[in-house]
């Protein structure tokens, strides 16, 4: 992510999140129920045998405070966690805690445990990072665990791959305009080989096998006109100047044929309708757009019938008034329908069960995060 993008996000994203978190959700709850609550910045999910696993990015801590991905300081703590929800008995418990976390001083918009996936060799977890490439160097010993892929063992987390170090050493998207050395492992799929990770900071999809990291695909940068901001930062281009837009891949899921589906957030200026879902062929290669017209995708999932489920963090640009999030189902014939319209606020993760979608809601908030069960309607 380039300097202009980071500065602009610092101006727009933090304020938009604060407003969005305060905005009440529309009352349209037909069949929707809360299955987990009291979560700290809940993110990615997985579901196995009636147990829902939820990655909690935490709420940061007392510090030290370092430059974050939005250009403002974020403060370090060990408030990240992994929560298990027993859907049969209606109970929840943190099965891992004390994990590294960075967040705004008020605990919002955290970076920490970002996704969980149950694979052949157990439970896998990513811990994000973001910010300048030197951010991790400024963190205490516990913070050196950020920007990595882990497998959960009997004695806690076992490091599998240092994705941040790979980005610093290789910067795979260096040839693209506006690229920067930045890593934020966000989403993973461990249900096949290699384990695949979407690095939202590195703008790439990585494969990890036997601790070795490879680049499976690079997402292309886009372009957009620089907006007319009320108080543009020093050195900003003139309004209307075309600037590069980060792809920001936030989600990856493996299809039955071995191909990968990838959703993108898109960076500043967060143009509504500019986010795509890409397909990467089995084994890696150039991404192909298979669904377009989305806004700020934070997660995707595939249903048993081949439907694509897309989570939108917000339905409008983050530079404007707050807007609700959305869960959109794209059926195999291309028909689109929004599930539980108006019910979602800053949603961040989705997993599909037999008859319902489970969605991380209030995914940028401490204490108020929840998981909703949303009927699929068929």
pLDDT digits (tens, 9 = 90+) for 127-146: 999 888 889 999 999 999 99
Q: Point out the least confidently predicted range of 103-112, 138-147, 240-249.
A: 240-249
Rounded to an integer, the average pLDDT of 334-359 is 96
Q: Point out the least confidently predicted range of 31-35, 128-132, 153-157.
A: 153-157
What is the structure's pLDDT at 234?
79
Rounded to an integer, the average pLDDT of 247-255 is 97
Which residues, 6+ apart, have CB-to-CB distance to 80 below 8 Å? 40, 56, 57, 58, 97, 98, 99, 100, 101, 110, 112, 113, 127
Paired strand residues for 36:
371
Rounded to an integer, the average pLDDT of 103-121 is 94
**What tokens does 71 get?**
């250009």
**More confident: 276 or 27:** 276
What is the structure's pLDDT at 4?
30
CATH code (residue 364):
2.120.10.30
**More confident: 357 or 236:** 357
How many independent structural domains does the chain possess? 1
Residue 56 has pLDDT above 80, yes or no: yes
Residue 81 has pLDDT above 60, yes or no: yes
CA distance 66 to 313: 25
Domain that holds residue 198: 3-375
Averaged pLDDT score across all residues of the chain: 89
What is the structure's pLDDT at 260?
98
What is the structure's pLDDT at 321?
82
Q: Where residue 243 falls among pLDDT bands split at 50, 70, 90? A: confident
What is the structure's pLDDT at 3?
30
What is the structure's pLDDT at 8?
29
Residue 69 has pLDDT above 80, yes or no: no
What is the structure's pLDDT at 320?
78
In tens, the pLDDT along 297-314 reads: 999 999 999 999 999 999
Pairing of strands 156-162, 185-189: unpaired
**More confident: 26 or 185:** 185
% of the chain with per-residue pLDDT over 70:
92
Which residues, 6+ apart, have CB-to-CB distance to 237 below 8 Å? 4, 226, 243
What is the structure's pLDDT at 178?
66
**More confident: 12 or 180:** 180
Residue 68 has pLDDT above 60, yes or no: yes
- Up-side HSE of residue 283: CA atoms within 13 Å toward CB? 0
């Amino acid at each position: 992510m380039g300097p202009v993008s980071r500065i602009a996000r610092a101006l727009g994203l933090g304020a938009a999140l604060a407003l969005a978190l305060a905005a009440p959700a529309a009352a349209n709850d037909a069949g929707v129920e809360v299955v987990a609550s009291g979560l700290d910045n809940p993110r990615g999910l997985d579901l196995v045998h009636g147990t829902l696993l939820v990655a909690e990015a935490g709420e940061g801590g007392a510090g030290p405070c370092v430059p974050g991905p939005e250009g403002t300081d974020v403060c370090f703590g060990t408030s990240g966690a992994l929560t298990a929800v027993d859907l049969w008995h209606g109970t929840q418990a943190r099965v891992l805690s004390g994990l590294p976390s960075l967040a705004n001083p008020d605990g919002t918009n955290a970076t920490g445990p970002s996704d969980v996936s149950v694979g052949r060799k157990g439970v896998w977890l990513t811990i994000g990072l973001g910010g300048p490439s030197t951010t991790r160097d400024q963190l205490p010993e516990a913070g050196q665990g950020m920007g990595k892929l882990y497998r959960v063992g009997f004695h806690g987390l076992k490091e599998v791959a240092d994705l941040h170090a790979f980005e610093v050493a290789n910067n795979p998207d260096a040839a693209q305009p506006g690229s920067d050395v930045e890593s934020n492992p966000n989403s993973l799929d461990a249900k096949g080989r290699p384990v695949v990770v979407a690095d939202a900071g590195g703008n790439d999809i990585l494969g990890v096998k036997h601790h070795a990291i490879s680049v499976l695909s690079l997402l292309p940068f886009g372009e957009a006109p620089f907006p007319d901001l009320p108080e543009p930062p020093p050195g900003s281009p003139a309004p209307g100047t075309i600037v590069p837009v980060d792809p920001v891949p936030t989600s990856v899921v493996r299809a039955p044929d071995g191909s990968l589906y990838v959703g993108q957030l898109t960076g500043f200026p967060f143009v509504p309708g500019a986010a795509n879902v890409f397909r990467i062929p089995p084994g890696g290669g150039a991404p192909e757009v298979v669904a377009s017209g989305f806004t700020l995708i934070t997660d995707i999932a595939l249903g048993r019938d081949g439907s694509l489920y897309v989570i939108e963090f917000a339905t409008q640009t983050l530079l404007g008034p707050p807007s609700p999030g959305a869960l959109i189902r794209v059926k195999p014939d291309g028909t689109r329908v929004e599930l539980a319209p108006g019910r979602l606020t800053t949603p961040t993760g989705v997993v599909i069960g037999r008859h319902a979608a489970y969605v991380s809601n209030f995914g940028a908030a401490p204490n108020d995060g929840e998981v909703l069960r949303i009927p699929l309607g068929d």
